[in-house]
Amino acid sequence: MYFAALQDHPLGQFGVSVGGATYSPATTRRALQELDYDPYHATRAGKRIPRRFAESLPADITGSRRMTERQQAFVTIMLPIVLRANEIVGVRDAVARAQAGVEAPAVPSDLPPSLLIGLAAAVTGWGSDLAGGKASNPYPETLTVPYGLGLDAVRAAGGISRARHNSLLEATLDIIHGLDTLVTDPAFRREQVRQHDSKRPDGYRLALLMSDTGPCDRVLASEVLYAIEGAALTLLDRARLTPPVAIVH
Q: DSSP assignment of 152-184, as one string?
A: HHHHHTT---GGG--SHHHHHHHHHHHHHHH--
**Cβ 57 vs Cβ 91: under 8 Å:** no
Q: Domain segments of the chain: what residues?
A: 2-248
pLDDT confidence tier of residue 3, bands split at 50, 70 and 90: very low
What residues contact 7, with CB distance under 8 A and at least 6 apart?
Answer: 13, 14, 15, 95, 98, 99
Distance from C-alpha of 200 to C-alpha of 220, rounded to nearest angstrom: 24
Give residue-wise pLDDT tens across range 202-230: 999 999 888 665 667 888 889 999 999 99
The string of DSSP codes covering 211-238 is: GGSSSS-HHHHHHHHHHHHHTTGGGGTT
Assess whether pLDDT exceeds 50 at residue 6: no
pLDDT confidence tier of residue 9, bands split at 50, 70 and 90: very low
Distance from C-alpha of 129 to C-alpha of 89, rounded to nearest angstrom: 28
Q: What is the pTM of this model?
A: 0.84
DSSP run (H or E) holding 69: helix 67-100
Assess whether pLDDT exceeds 60 at residue 50: yes
Give residue-wise pLDDT tens across range 101-160: 655 556 778 899 999 999 999 999 998 876 555 788 899 888 888 877 666 766 665 555
Which among 239, 200, 241, 229 is positioned nearest to 118, based on CA atoms?
229
DSSP run (H or E) holding 16: strand 12-19
Distance from C-alpha of 233 to C-alpha of 235, rounded to nearest angstrom: 5
Could you report how far apart the first and last alpha carbons of the chain are, in Å?
18
CATH for 2-248 (3.40.50.970, 1.10.10.410, 1.10.530.10, 3.40.30.10): 1.10.530.10
* Greatest Cα pair distance in the chain: 60
Distance from C-alpha of 55 to C-alpha of 136, rounded to nearest angstrom: 6
Handedness of CA 210, 215, 221, 223 (dihedral sign): negative
**3-state DSSP percent of the chain in helix, strand and coil, to 5:** 55, 10, 35
